[in-house]
Amino acid sequence: MTNYTDLNTSERILLGPGPSTAHPRVLRAMAQPLVGHLDPQFLKVMDETQELLRFVFQTENELTLPISATGSAGMEAALCNFIEPGDEVLIGVIGYFGERLCDMAARYGANVRKLEKPWGEVIDPAEIEAELKAKPAKIVAMVHAETSTGAWQPVEEISRIVHNYGGLFLLDCVTSLGGLPVKIDEWEVDIAYSAAQKCLSCPPGLAPLTINDRAREVMCKRKKPTSNWYLDLCLLDNYWGDVRTYHHTAPISTIFALREGLRLAYEEGLEARFKRHRKNAELLWAGFEAMGIELHVPVEIRLPTLTTPRIPDGVDDMLVRKRLLDEYNVEIAGGFSQLAGQVWRIGLMGYSSRRENVTLLLAALKEILNSV
Give the total of residues touching its own copies (CB under 8 A): 78
Q: For residues 308 and 302, what is the distance between their CA atoms, to the nearest angstrom? A: 9
- Binding span for its own copies by CB under 8 A among 100-108, 128-136, 165-173, 185-193: 100-108
Non-local (6+) Cβ contacts of 171 within 8 A are: 141, 142, 143, 144, 155, 189, 191, 192
Q: For residues 347 and 15, what is the distance between their CA atoms, to the nearest angstrom? A: 5
Q: What letter does residue 83 receive in the DSSP assignment?
A: -
Q: What letter does residue 337 receive in the DSSP assignment?
A: G
| C-alpha closest to that of 18 among 306, 364, 260 | 306
Residue 337 binds its own copies (CB under 8 A)? no
Among residues 89, 250, 346, 368, which is the contact residue for its own copies, using CB under 8 A?
A: 250
Give the burial string for 112-127 (b: 16+ CB within 10 Å, else e).
bbebebebbbbbebee
Positions in 8-27 near its own copies (CB under 8 A): 9-12, 14, 16, 18-19, 21-22, 27
Residue 80 binds its own copies (CB under 8 A)? yes
Residue 195 binds its own copies (CB under 8 A)? yes
Among residues 169, 187, 193, 256, which is the contact residue for its own copies, using CB under 8 A?
A: 256
Among residues 59, 64, 68, 194, which is the contact residue for its own copies, using CB under 8 A?
A: 68
- Binding span for its own copies by CB under 8 A among 149-157, 177-185, 201-209, 292-300: 201-209
Residue 102 binds its own copies (CB under 8 A)? no
Residue 234 binds its own copies (CB under 8 A)? no
Residue 71 binds its own copies (CB under 8 A)? yes
Among residues 133, 248, 275, 366, which is the contact residue for its own copies, using CB under 8 A?
A: 248
Q: For residues 200 and 347, what is the distance between their CA atoms, to the nearest angstrom? A: 13
Residue 103 binds its own copies (CB under 8 A)? yes
Residue 225 binds its own copies (CB under 8 A)? yes
Positions in 263-322 near its own copies (CB under 8 A): 263, 266
- Binding span for its own copies by CB under 8 A among 134-142, 155-163, 181-189, 245-253: 245-253
Q: Which is nearer to its own copies, 203 or 304 (CB)?
A: 203
Non-local (6+) Cβ contacts of 314 within 8 A are: none
Residue 29 binds its own copies (CB under 8 A)? yes
Q: For residues 82 and 222, what is the distance between their CA atoms, to the nearest angstrom? A: 8
SS3 270: helix
SS3 152: strand
Among residues 133, 156, 220, 227, which is the contact residue for its own copies, using CB under 8 A?
A: 227
Q: Which is nearer to its own copies, 165 or 230 (CB)?
A: 230
Residue 60 binds its own copies (CB under 8 A)? no
What do you get for the CA distance between the two ends of the chain, in Å?
44
10 and 234 in contact (C-beta within 8 Å)?
no
Q: For residues 311 and 292, what is the distance between their CA atoms, to the nearest angstrom? A: 11
Positions in 143-182 near its own copies (CB under 8 A): none
249 and 37 in contact (C-beta within 8 Å)?
yes
Q: Which is nearer to its own copies, 214 or 238 (CB)?
A: 238
Among residues 52, 63, 161, 348, which is the contact residue for its own copies, using CB under 8 A?
A: 52
Q: For residues 282 and 288, what is the distance between their CA atoms, to the nearest angstrom? A: 10
Positions in 117-146 near its own copies (CB under 8 A): none
